[in-house]
Chain A
Amino acid sequence: MNITLILLIIVPLVTAFLIPFVDVFSNKARKILVAFSTLLEFSIGIFVIISNYSSITNNSFFLKYYLGNWIPPIGITLSMDMLSLFFSTLISFSLLFIVIYSIGFIGHHEGKYYVLLFLIWAAMHGIVLTGDIFNLDVFLELMLITSAPLVAFKRDRNGTEAAIKYMFYGTIGGLFVFIGVVLVYFNLGTLNFADIAQNFNSLNIFSKKLISVFFLLGIFIKMGVFPFHFWLSKAHSACPSSISALLSGVIVKVYIYVFIRLFWNVFGYNILQQTGLNKIIFVVALISTVMGHIMALNENDVKRMLAYSTIANLGMIIAVLVINTKLALLAGLLHVLSHLLMKVSLFTTTGYILQFTPGHKLEDLKGVAYKNVLIFTGFTIVAGGMIGLPPMIGFASKWYILKAFIKSGYNWGSVITIGGSIFAFVYYIRYIISGFKKLSLGPPERFRLILSVFYRERVVTDIAFIFVIAVIVVGVFYKVALGPLEGAINVIQNPSLYIEGILGG
């Protein structure tokens, strides 16, 4: 029993409910509350790592908490192993900075904004920590319905349309997940992950296949893999940049966590192998990569381009994960880390830049680099990371992905990865050239604040720099990250560890 796990969910949840009440009294109190809760949540995450440092280093890390003290398989169990810890740390780290970024970036309706943001935070931690399949579904839906209003946060035609589309796809995906949950409950009479994992093999083959197909479809629709990707670029580009960073950088990774947890630990990778679904996932993911790159090339809008690049990278992560060798899992998780850092920093820098342009289009970006050369250089550096130039983290993850593809003989994967980075080179450099183009009109006359005024400009630039520096520093010392990742892979490859952790002892 470990009380910190429930605190990780409760702190943002309680903050979200407190904000409207505090808001009635004063704005300042709300700001203090937001900052306080953010730091508290982050420090709880740090506390978990520090207090369990010895067990993390020797790979025996496992925390659990029985809600209402109901012993599994009856009650809801919260648990944290190396895989959850990895994703939880990523969420805490990026959310800490995204919230601070929002303090400088969002100038209006802040009360509502932070309520929704903290609810998303609670939902994400819930997804990462829960050990109950119905609870997982509840948190997935919570994440959907709290992020949809944020997509429409700008209250314009584009945003509303994108949010409706997002809700449409999200609810359909959620429906499939729900059908999967119902099927699991009817067949096994249990909702606990560990219990399902223990008894899943006793089911007849048809039920097993049906359950995995429903979950797979649900997750893929919510994630935005190729034939279901139409909502993604709109949703990720219509919202304020802080939310784009959250959606494109973090929420997508949470779905990857769900994918890994369900198909490696709960249902077991065998079911994918037996049905041949892994081949289908591999092909679909690679098609998703190709289409993402092509669509990004076709796009003239910088935020939509970044969103399409997310589709492409997501496809790459899924393709490399389903190879299911140790190296491939390592490559996949490393790319989760690297894509998170790079996408968040790209969206944070872009968010700053777009405040000075009349629109999001390629032509609108002309000469914008001279407004703040450092920020645009940061954008350029991270774009270099996306195409895989050292010393950015993108090089390390690209290297491991290529290695995993070639070692397991999936040459198509490696060809697409390399071709994709050449495509990415072309679509990033167009914006960079446009940004550095010298204009006859001097920058001060041309640029004016068009959208909301920065609440605190300094905060926005500083957070953007922090992410850019993180991309470089983690890229140089990426070997440090490999140790924890191997612990996570140990969990992924041995479902019995998870079952024993929850049911036994």
Chain B
Amino acid sequence: MLELFLENFTINSFNLIFVATGIIITGAALLSTRDYRYAHRKLFYLCNLIYVVSFTMIIMTNNWIIFLIGWELVTVTTFLMLLWGSNKIARIYLIIQFIGSNFLLYVVLMIMNAGYSTIGPISEFNLQILLIIGVGLKSAIIGLHFWLPIVHSRAPSPVSAILSGWVVKLGFIILLKTVTSGNILLFYAGIAMVIYASLEAIFETDYKVLLAYSTISQLGFVAIGIGSGNIYAYWGSVLHIIVHGLAKTSLFLSSGYWIKKTKSRTIYAFKNGWFVDRKNSILTIIGLTVLAGFPIFAGYNSKYLIKYAAGGGLFLNYVFHGLSILTYLYVFRFLKWGIFNIDKTEKEFSKDEVNESNSFLSISIPLFLIVLITFISNSLLGINLANYHLLSGLFKNLIYIVVALSILKITDWIYVKEKPVPSMDIFLIRIKNWNNVIKGKPKVETIEVDMENQIYNILIKFAKFVYTYLPKKIQSQLLFIPIAILLLLIFIL
């Protein structure tokens, strides 16, 4: 039994660190769930337990089949967790992930057929691309990210923390093991992810959607690190997966408490936050600082390493500065409109039904670990870097901040009218509107049928269409038999 285990699982410091991070994230989220009213709490814990086992399988294994089983189990268990929120979102998540994992099944078989019997570096570019697309639907590679802001923002906050903090990272952990020497397409996809998602986050008013877009943009940094093929950038990606996972967990958990208090999801509702809830505000600010990569915190270390990906390219260096500024933009915009939007006339947050005995602990544990990682990041990764040039880093970051603040000042802190909570229906409305534009009809704002039923309806309509061409009478159905025998006889003659 032990031999079987050792054959199929690799135990090294990396895998253990990843597993430990995942368990801490799940633990923090579970701690936070104690402040919410959950029916069937034991079942929820059971789901989490299976989820922990399955992501451990994904991370530790070197066997493709066990990886796939773990992958599907993560899909199923996270789907079940989502059921504690909205049924509809959970189903949409399941169907999208099911399609993705089926594609991944196909890709893995292709990879195995090419001779890679265990999980390890893959040298063929085409197979790398296929694998990237295969894990892309779960890990929100650009183009396949469309579901993420919707699902992550509509899930219950602890589940969002698990999804955004760790589930999306699993695909990148597999890419870390397989795409070891870089992939140029992944590199540019990463840059595109950072730019696109940061821009979306800058114009977002819903806090959880903002955080979800920020997840995509930070995943972009991981993709850049893996795609560049530079060894330091590669280590940076490893560190960034851990640091961002912890930071995003903390942020999503705190977002849950913000929403609970203000009874609203828009950032404008969080005003006076600094005065009303000092504890939560400070922790949120620390989390956002980690995301932006300000020195002292480990977020700086990982981004410092990832910036090695630029190599000596001057242009790419400037692009990377731009990417950092984009992150600062959405962070400061949120702080301005949210926590530091001081309005003394406004009355305090409502305090009824708010139970948050575990809030401080669940939000601060991941942040505390990030601070710890800051000091031990070299020994954690097992690399030798004398220092991270903290002073010059501080100087650079101050310049970024100045640039970001002046851009925000010029644009009046980018005030955007409140947006509705996103749903899959917007894609339907867009298609409908394109159709209307072509036909010269006015645009519509809402639509009656939801996305899920629409997909089912299309498939069922297709089935009905095929069905109409099948014979209904038994006489004509039986006619197939003489036809078949005639054809077969002609064939064998």
Q: Which residues of A contact B (CB under 8 A)?
A: 165, 168, 172, 176, 206, 209-210, 213, 216-217, 221, 227-228, 230, 275-277, 280, 291, 294-295, 297-298, 384, 387-391, 395, 398-399, 402-403, 406-407, 414, 418, 421-423, 425-426, 429-430, 433, 436
Contacts and interface: CB of A to CB of B under 8 A. Distances in A.
Interface in B30-66: 65
A392 B488 CA distance: 39
Given A297-B460, A389-B76, A414-B106, A217 B488 contact: yes
Contacts of B112: 403
Closest 9 CB pairs of A and B: A298-B463, A227-B480, A209-B492, A297-B463, A390-B69, A230-B477, A294-B463, A406-B109, A298-B467
A430 B95 contact: no
Given A168-B474, A275-B492, A403 B467 contact: no
Nearest to A430: B456
Nearest to B460: A297
Label chain A's interface by main secondary structure: helix
A210 B492 contact: yes
Contacts of B73: 390-391
A406 B113 contact: yes
Interface of B: 65, 68-69, 72-73, 76, 87, 91, 94-95, 98-99, 102-103, 105-106, 109-110, 112-113, 455-456, 459-460, 462-464, 466-467, 471, 474, 477-478, 480-481, 483-485, 488-489, 491-493
Contact of B488 (A213, A399, A406): A213
A403 B112 CA distance: 9
Contacts, number: 103
B102 A421 contact: yes
Contacts of B72: 389-390, 395
A216 B456 CA distance: 37
8 contacts: A294-B467, A295-B466, A295-B467, A298-B467, A389-B76, A414-B106, A418-B102, A429-B94
Contacts of A418: 102-103, 105-106
Nearest to B455: A426
B459 A280 contact: no
Nearest to A407: B113
Given A210-B489, A390-B69, 10 more contacts: A213-B492, A228-B481, A291-B466, A295-B467, A298-B463, A395-B72, A398-B105, A399-B105, A426-B95, A433-B91
B69 A395 contact: yes
Nearest to A409: B113
Label chain B's interface by main secondary structure: helix
Contact of A414 (B87, B109, B480): B109
Nearest to B483: A227
B76 A384 contact: yes
A403 B111 CA distance: 11
Nearest to A214: B485
A216 B485 CA distance: 10
A432 B102 CA distance: 21
Contacts of B76: 384, 389
A294 B492 CA distance: 31
A464 to B, nearest CB: 21
Contact of B110 (A217, A384, A388, A406): A406
B453 to A, nearest CB: 10
A227 B484 CA distance: 8
A168 B462 CA distance: 30
A228 B91 CA distance: 36
Contacts of A414: 106, 109
B53 to A, nearest CB: 11
B109 A298 contact: no
B403 to A, nearest CB: 47
Contacts of B110: 406
Contacts of B455: 426
A392 to B, nearest CB: 10
A425 B95 contact: yes
A87 B107 CA distance: 34
Nearest to A210: B492
Nearest to A387: B98
A294 to B, nearest CB: 5
Nearest to A284: B484
A400 B471 CA distance: 35
Contacts of A297: 459-460, 462-463
Contacts of A210: 489, 492
A44 B1 CA distance: 33
B102 A280 contact: no
A395 B102 CA distance: 11
B481 A425 contact: no
A98 B466 CA distance: 35
A30 B109 CA distance: 54
Given A298-B467, A390-B73, A422 B109 contact: no
Contacts of B481: 172, 217, 221, 228
A323 to B, nearest CB: 15
Contacts of A291: 466
Nearest to B466: A294
A3 B121 CA distance: 58
A276 B91 CA distance: 45
Nearest to B473: A230
Contacts of B65: 399
A168 B477 CA distance: 11
A217 B492 CA distance: 13
A436 to B, nearest CB: 8
A96 B330 CA distance: 66
Nearest to A205: B492
Given A384-B76, A399-B105, A418-B102, A298 B113 contact: no
Contacts of A425: 95, 98
Contacts of A391: 69, 73
A276 B493 CA distance: 12
A388 B467 CA distance: 26
A276 B492 CA distance: 9
Contacts of A298: 460, 463-464, 466-467
A294 B480 contact: no
Nearest to B105: A402
A398 B466 CA distance: 26
Contacts of B464: 298
Contacts of A217: 481, 484-485, 488
B463 A403 contact: no
Contacts of B106: 402, 406, 414, 418
Contacts of A228: 480-481, 484
A330 to B, nearest CB: 15
Contacts of B459: 297, 423, 426
Contacts of A206: 492-493
A340 B479 CA distance: 31
Contacts of B109: 402-403, 406, 414
Contacts of B493: 206
A422 B98 contact: yes
A407 B117 CA distance: 13
A455 to B, nearest CB: 33
Most buried by A among B103, B480, B483: B480
A213 B489 contact: yes
Nearest to A217: B485
Nearest to A384: B76
A466 B203 CA distance: 55
A373 to B, nearest CB: 11
B456 A295 contact: no
B484 A230 contact: no
Contacts of A421: 102
Contact of B462 (A294, A407, A422, A429): A294
Contact of A429 (B91, B478, B480): B91
Given A391-B69, A395-B69, A425-B95, A280 B491 contact: yes
Contacts of A389: 72, 76
A423 B99 CA distance: 10
Contacts of A399: 65, 68, 105
Contacts of B477: 230
B98 A230 contact: no
Contacts of B491: 275-276, 280
